[in-house]
Structure 1
Amino acid sequence: MTINTMTRSSPHPKPSVFEFEEEFITGLTSMFEEKIVFNRVLGLKITSLKAERVTARIDMRHELVGHYAYNRIHGGVISASLDAMGGLAVMAAIGARHMDEAPLQRLHRFSRLGTIDLRVDYLRPGISDYFELRAEVLRLGSRVANTRMEFLGADGTLFSSAAAAYIVS
């Protein structure tokens, strides 16, 4: 996967392009989709892993229904999946920042990652066959990262948006 790097002194992407190693991609995907068991319960599947933006998908299924009469996804599923995506975006940004380290060493950096604050805006009822989730890091500091996330329907309709802060040290 192609990644644009960001320097610590500038929030603007550098023109150089690099790729995460297969070992890092496989490890991060396994961590996110399998080892974080709740993400597996939600059905989160990574579709793109880049330093500047990550995307994932959730297929609608009966276990995720929040309102049975409308087959609407539960608000807790939306909130939890947006939080998970913000964390994934931070992991990708940290991974890109420390490309001088071995892939396994970068994967161990995520053990202290945790949500400090999460705000979700529910804009429309979540009714769709599947959902796309997007997240990006707005600022990656030495102790705190700030993110923005989106929860969209299959047709691209924005159902929910979120902002979060994560502890990274």
Structure 2
Amino acid sequence: MVEATDFKNAMSLLTGAVNVITTAGATGRYGFTASAVCSVTDTPPTLLVCMNTSSRSHVHFVENKILTVNVLGAQQQAISSAFASQLSTEERFSHGTWSTLSTGAPVLNDALASFDCQIEQIQEIGTHSIFMCRVVAIQQNDQNDQGLVYFNRAYHHVGQKQAEGV
């Protein structure tokens, strides 16, 4: 049997894009930092998002049935840290400038990309929920050219800065 510690140590070597996942509804706005996000299919456009069921905001994502995946750029490490911390919801959303697209879930205006989604299916596996999310709107930001990733328990930047005047 594979021990949880061995699994976590090995998974720390799997590079993952850093995302802030958000939702909104009658009880307010909520969000968390996640690297467990991936494309499922482009027809229809669908993402998979994993969330720990012990998270204080888990129930709100389940009830709201909407979320936005905000893909963070290299300069947004502080936003990632805020949404991964014990800060209150209000304090978390004081970082960054937020708007909405189709669903009403918060969109980080200067994220590399934001995928506005409806949660169509939820599967419970161990300590996590897997949200199958149909993408209903996308916002891209051409001002950012470097992504934020998490590898070996640390943040790193990927991509190439474009030369001035190019």
* Fold shared by both chains (TM-score > 0.5): no
- TM-score by length of structure 2 reads 0.29
Between Structure 1 and Structure 2, the one with more strand by share is 2
